Amino acid sequence: MIGRRHIIVHENDTVSTLLDANTADTSLEGGRACAPGIRFGHKVALKSMVTGEPVLKYGVAIGVATQNITQGDHVHVHNCR
Amino acid sequence: MSTTAAKTSDMNISGYRRADGRLGLRNHLLVLSTLALTNRVAALAAEAVPDCVLVAGDMQRGLRGRDAKLQDHVVRALLHHPNTGGAVVFVHDTAARKRLQEWTKTCKRPIEVLAFMEGRGVAETVRRGNEAVIRVHTALKAQVRTPGHLGELTVALECGGSDATSAVCANPVIGSFVDMVVAAGGRAIVSETAEFIGAEQVVAQRAASPEAASEILEAIRRRERMMEEDGEDYRGVNPTQENIEAGLTTLIEKSMGAVAKCGESPLMGRLDFAQEPPGPGLWFMDTPFFSPVSITGMVCAGAQLTLFGIGVFNPSAVPLAPTLKICGNPVTVRDWPDAVDVDVSMLVEGRGSLEEAVQTLIKKVAEVCAGATTWAERWGEGQIIVPREAESI
């Protein structure tokens, strides 16, 4: 199992974008955990974050965590705003 | 972006050295119709040789104020462009011919100006055009490529047909290259003001000075107000339900997909449509979002090359400056094999890293700078479209 394809756009990012449709896999390429069910183009947490922490993609804050996020979680409108 | 270790030091840039020192990547023979009335004779005149660049658009008489000034500026910018080796220009009458001929002396390259009203029949007018084209073509053959360097480039940045792949593949790859051009002392121009709505914080952080920040932010606010006047609440409806389905969480994330093609260099300031950057670095040009219009603005500001990130296919290009279509969507790459120049779909398909994708772009840019043609050049794709504000008289 090599894990799901994903792209970290910037070295400082705390989320990565998934680039395949293997939603049943539970790991990322490189070995980190990945929650099942995250679709192509959606984001996975690269590290755990606490409520209020900025979510970084493209090296900038694209939002803040609205609840605690665990590494491997799907990051989207339910936990980031 | 900064994750890449790609090197550009071995990039061979060569081109045609103009009298003012600028480097042209092409030695185009431009056949320019300065009025829609002369478009047909200009097109027929251009047939004298196989490889003219014909610009025959919607140039009008009766324009007012800024519109009139801008149309006149675009005509001159095309003739003065570093990729223009020489030109044959059609104008309406004797007065216009004399006025333009006086100015074209400053371009210091073979430019012939023909007045339509001085003709004696269509066939005779076309024949004079053909002869002028052949004379300029002969003069251009004598010119040879000379070495240049990366820092002499002005690169126009564009994206269109955007999808989930362009935001994380094509545009970041372009951004990495832009950082290298800027580091080498070159210039890059980004436009399409409305695409920056939502990314104001990033603009403010990256602006080289408080003045640069305020003039760019003002331009973004102005475009947003235009939408509000038309009853559109852009900020309220974005990201759209469709965007959210596709994985975009916030408006700033959506905007950053487009902003990623700028790289991370400081924004030096705002340029008006078709205004040449006053110095090196990354510049923001205030333009409409329609790509044939925005590219016209950046190329008329002196960009010799356009880097165009796509997701689904978008054919837009400008005839004068080679346009590279860069695509990370494997389906688009497969379906448009005669139109995509740089395939970065290795990122999506797990066949390569961002660094490797950047290397692919560098290699292709080097080839195009050395004279290899882009697909848009081969197809003769391209439009020059000048935006207008007011009704004409």
The per-residue pLDDT string of chain B (393 residues; one tens digit each, 9 = 90 and over) reads 444 444 565 577 999 999 999 999 999 999 999 999 999 999 999 999 999 999 999 999 999 999 999 999 999 999 999 999 999 999 999 999 999 999 999 999 999 999 999 999 999 999 999 999 999 999 999 999 999 999 999 999 999 988 889 999 999 999 999 999 999 999 999 999 999 999 999 999 999 999 999 999 999 999 999 999 999 999 989 999 999 999 999 999 999 999 999 999 999 999 999 999 999 999 999 999 999 999 999 999 999 999 999 999 999 998 899 999 999 999 999 999 999 999 999 999 989 999 999 999 999 999 999 999 999 999 999 899 999 999 999
- How many CB atoms lie under 10 A from the CB of residue B263? 26
Give the residue from chain B lying closest to A4, CA to CA.
B350
Q: Which residues of A touch B246 (CB under 8 A)?
A: 41
Give all strands (DSSP E) within B71-209, no chain letters: 84-91, 111-115, 146-148, 154-159, 187-190
Instruction: Count CB-CB contacts under 10 A for residue B117.
Output: 14
At B3 the pLDDT is: 40
Q: Does B2 touch chain A (CB under 8 A)?
A: yes
Tell whether ipTM is more than 0.90: yes
Bridge pairing between strands B323-327 and B305-310: parallel
DSSP H/E element including A75: strand A74-75
Chain A closest CA to B360's CA: distance in Å? Answer: 17
**Cα B47 from chain centre:** 25
Exposure b/e, B65-95, CB count within 10 A at least 16 = b: eebbebbbbbbbbbbbbbbbbbbbbbbbeee
Write out chain A residues lying below 8 Å of B347, CB-based: 7, 19
Complete domains list, chain A, with CATH: 1-81 (2.30.130.110)
Measured between beta carbons, the chain B residues lying within 8 angstroms of A17 are 164, 168, 247
- Smallest CA–CA distance from B328 into chain A, residue: A19
Residues of B in contact with A42 (CB under 8 A): 247
Q: Do A59 and B1 touch (CB under 8 A)?
A: yes
Residue B186 phi, psi (nearest 5)? -85, -170
> What 3-state DSSP class applies to B283?
strand
pLDDT at B2: 42
Residue B392 is predicted with a pLDDT of 93
Adjacent-strand bridge partners of B326: B309, B342
Interface test with A, best of B250, B261, B262 (most A CBs within 10 A): B250
* Paired strand residues for B16: B24
Q: Does B1 reach chain A within 8 Å, measured CB to CB?
A: yes
Q: Are B307 and B326 in contact (CB under 8 A)?
A: yes
Of the candidates B169, B201, B264, the beta carbon closest to that of A59 is on: B264
B165 min Cα distance to partner chain A (Å): 8
What is the rounded distance in angstroms from the CA atom of residue B347 to the CA atom of residue B330? 9
> Does B201 lie at the interface with A, CB-CB under 8 angstroms?
yes
Minimal Cβ distance to B2: which of A11, A39, A42: A11
Residue A81: how many CB atoms within 10 A of its CB? 11
- CATH node for B28-141: 3.40.50
Pairing of strands A43-45, A15-18: antiparallel
B contact test, residue of A2, A15, A58, A75 with most B CBs within 10 A? A58
| Integer Cα distance of B125 and B200 in angstroms | 53
pLDDT value for B12: 77
Contact A9 B247 (CB under 8 A): no
Shortest alpha-carbon distance between residue B291 and chain A (Å): 23
A51 to chain B, closest Cα gap in Å:
16
Those of residues 324-363 in B touching chain A at CB distance below 8 A are 347-350, 354
Strands, sheet with A43-45, edge to edge from the N-terminal-most edge strand: A6-7, A15-18, A43-45, A74-75
